[in-house]
Structure 1
């Protein structure tokens, strides 16, 4: 096998692993990776606005609003106006979300981050540099992306919802 074929196989494995994890998450918890990430963030920080959530998960406010709309329809979050400043709307978890989070698998990026942080600095730099080069070679350097390992649109409609 040529080296470029080996690189393409490795990329395909990464894409496939992401796809399989996304399907497992959907099957077990009925959530997408971005939905899970937002619910976990709301569990850690009890009072956040949509804008603050968007900033912390590195997604646009419009995307996060769509995701939160879907989570609200499923009864996992609720919105409430601030008591001190009525212009601010805060997002809170519901008890239903707590129950789903108990059984949800860890996001794929969580285990990746742990293993990546265990590497030496030079290894981390080498991986980052190589992946940035691959993104450039695939003409993907201008594509907006967040640090969420998932396939498909981040604000897609759940098939089961």
Structure 2
């Protein structure tokens, strides 16, 4: 590998590390704007949603898995157990999750989404997806094709075992 290709790889890595969170923040801002304007009828029952992107991500994990131990949740969310605990406390206060002790081992704490939590994730995902689709429609046909062509490489990058 030449010095030029290492520099190119480093530049590409920095671009990817910068662009992905910026895109997510931009779309999250769109979702907040939709919530605050309440122009989207799906938000009418959920206008008080105050969950952060991290909390929504954690809630999405719970919705997908149905229930998790606190340790599993921290591992799935790739956060420290203390961070997961703080996030779960906030979600508990809003009525999005419930905690309970295991029947076989009382030391094990389980967390599962409430119906309200499941509904919030569904509504959030619908609006998040609509925002991204609206942004994609603003791209040229060539730009959309370039993004589509890059998806397999991005998925491979995610799937690589290190």
The answer, yes or no, to whether TM exceeds 0.5 is yes
For structure 2, the 5+ residue unaligned runs are 1-11, 36-48, 130-147
CA shift, 1:30, in A, is 3.7
Matches within 5 A, 1:59-74: 59-74=79-94
Residue 96 of structure 1 is matched in structure 2 by 116
Which of 68, 71, 74 is matched with 1:54 structurally? 74
For structure 1, the 5+ residue unaligned runs are 1-6, 108-113, 126-161
CA shift, 1:19, in A, is 2.7
Higher Cα Rg: structure 1 or 2? Answer: 2
Which of 18, 26, 31 is matched with 1:20 structurally? 26
Secondary structure of 2:103 counterpart? coil
Q: Deviations over 1:17-73 (max 9, x none)?
A: 333223234454543221121111111212311111001111101111111000000
Matches within 5 A, 1:98-137: 98-105=118-125, 106=128, 117-119=151-153, 124=157
Q: Which has the higher contact order (CA 8 A, sep 6+)?
A: 1
1:35 aligns with 2:69: no
Residue 111 of structure 1 is matched in structure 2 by none
Distance across 2 between alignment mates of 1:82 and 1:71: 20
Equivalent residues, number: 114
CA pair 18-86 structure 1, distance change in 2 beyond 3 A? same
CA pair 46-11 structure 1, distance change in 2 beyond 3 A? closer
Distance across 2 between alignment mates of 1:43 and 1:79: 14
RMSD (CA atoms): 3.6
User: Normalization by structure 2: what TM-score?
Assistant: 0.56
Higher helix share: 2
